[in-house]
Amino acid sequence: MASPPRCSPTAPDRECKLPPPSAPASEYCPGKLSWGTMARALGRFKLSIPHTHLLATLDPLALDREPPPHLLPEKHQVPEKLIWGDQEPLSKIPFKILSGHEHTVSTCHFCVDDTKLLSGSYDCTVKLWDPVDGSVVRDFEHRPKAPVVECSITADSSRVIAASYDKTVRAWDLETGKLLWKVRYDTFIVSCKFSPDGKYVVSGFDVDHGICIMDAENITTVSVIKDHHTRSITSCCFDPDSQRVASVSLDRCIKIWDVTSQATLLTITKAHSNAISNCCFTFSGHFLCTSSWDKNLKIWNVHTGEFRNRGACVTLMQGHEGSVSSCHFARDSSFLISGGFDRTVAIWDVAEGYRKLSLKGHNDWVMDVAISNNKKWILSASKDRTMRLWNIEEIDEIPLVIKYKKAVGLKLKQEKKEAYLKLKQG
């Protein structure tokens, strides 16, 4: 394997080319996208009719405080669904709408100990938000010249990166907003992630079907694996130890690459019946969740030496009515959330393998989801140009969740009874 191209740190106004660009950013043309990119972006670039959203009068970040009397709405003026947000009558999930982007919000994150929110959008901006009042704290300057497809942030919330359809990955200092570096590729970037230790950045390629691992400090290339998949990459991410990279693709395949040995450790072919849209590790690194256009999610045991090609450990079905776009584990892996093109966010009980609740309210596809470290909040980004911040602190007290739990418990008891009868008869 030839030595990977290298580049040296650059000032914000200079570009680092890995490898040389095929065209300058000013010549970016959506018409030159590959069919794979167009398939993922189908309908995303179509501007919807402008509309406005008001922040919910109930502040989910201050549920323990009574709002001032002059802020309380009259009952006949504000319908209950504007306050509570979930359309299911037995569910009461407080939420807040964050409006500020002018196009699809493609990516979202919690950061700075859950006190700030980060978003990227097809309006070519990356924004930092204050969740308390829903205001934009910072619009990161030297912004991309094309839609932002993904953002990532270091564990200590010091640096932010964003991948864009202008074939670049940019990095900023979160506190100052200063552009730290910009790397340009000769192909479209569809995914980018920091490693948990902040040392590396992995980028997923569209046309080249590969991944690139870069040293985030020295801005040098560690590995370039072209044709890692047979079709366009859709997502890639590091494991918690920053030593393995999982990637998924339109080819329905899962691959895990070892950074140290520079070799593929695991390949799972035909993991889903349709394109795989996203992937995420548990915080132990033993399990990987994948979401797919086949409407399902699967959880795989990918721990080295433990995986046997017998299929997924758990298949989560009947949670979405359309393609699943995104997935994210809670820090302790006690639950999982997913976003879908059916405009909903699903909350899954990982141990029992069932959907606890579906959060409804977005007016278009849910593009990305995130969970706060304290597990009290869910953030969702949508094609409807907004983000929603959901308070799930008291989710287990919700009547609908209690109802689902009882139903699952009865089903398990029935299954055990039937198994016992079969054993007795046999």
Chain segment 107-150, per-residue pLDDT in tens: 999 999 999 999 999 999 999 999 999 999 999 999 999 999 99
Tokens of 327: 């997935």
User: What whole-number distance in Å separates Cα of residue 281 and Cα of residue 303?
Assistant: 11
Model pTM score = 0.76
pLDDT at 313: 81
* DSSP single-letter state for residue 142: S
For residue 277, pLDDT over 50 is answered with yes
Residue 415 pLDDT class (50, 70, 90 cuts): low
User: What whole-number distance in Å separates Cα of residue 340 and Cα of residue 293?
Assistant: 9
For residue 256, pLDDT over 70 is answered with yes
Per-residue pLDDT of 151-192, as tens digits, reads 999 999 999 999 999 999 999 999 999 999 999 999 999 999
pLDDT at 304: 54
How far lies 37's CA from each of 71, 250, 423, in Å?
A: 46, 10, 53
Which of 52-56, 293-297, 307-311 bottoms out in mean pLDDT, i.e. has the lowest? 52-56
For residue 22, pLDDT over 70 is answered with no
pLDDT at 395: 76
Name 120's bridge partners: 107, 126
Which of 8-17, 233-242, 388-397 is predicted most confidently?
A: 233-242
pLDDT at 220: 95
Q: What is the mean pLDDT of residues 401-412?
A: 66
Query: How high does pLDDT run on average in the chain?
Result: 80
For residue 90, pLDDT over 60 is answered with no
Helices (H) and strands (E) in the chain, counts: 3, 29
DSSP string, 48-92: PPP---PPPSS-GGGTTSPPPGGGSPPTTTS-HHHHH---STT--
pLDDT at 404: 65
User: What whole-number distance in Å separates Cα of residue 230 and Cα of residue 92?
Assistant: 45
Residue 84 pLDDT class (50, 70, 90 cuts): very low
Per-residue pLDDT of 380-400, as tens digits, reads 999 999 999 999 988 777 766
Buried b (16+ CB within 10 A) or exposed e, 17-42: ebeebeeebeebeeeebeebbeebbe
Q: What is the mean pLDDT of residues 287-315?
A: 80
Q: What is the mean pLDDT of residues 8-25?
A: 43
For residue 33, pLDDT over 90 is answered with no
Phi (first) and psi of residue 23, to 5 degrees: -160, 145
Q: What is the mean pLDDT of residues 316-333?
A: 94
Residue 267 pLDDT class (50, 70, 90 cuts): very high
User: What whole-number distance in Å separates Cα of residue 245 and Cα of residue 200?
Assistant: 11
User: What whole-number distance in Å separates Cα of residue 5 and Cα of residue 136?
Assistant: 38
User: What whole-number distance in Å separates Cα of residue 426 and Cα of residue 212?
Assistant: 56
How far lies 410's CA from each of 300, 401, 404, in Å?
A: 27, 14, 10
pLDDT at 403: 72
Which of 122-126, 192-196, 364-368, 401-405 bottoms out in mean pLDDT, i.e. has the lowest? 401-405
Residue 216 pLDDT class (50, 70, 90 cuts): very high
Q: Which residue has the higher pLDDT, 97 or 415?
A: 97
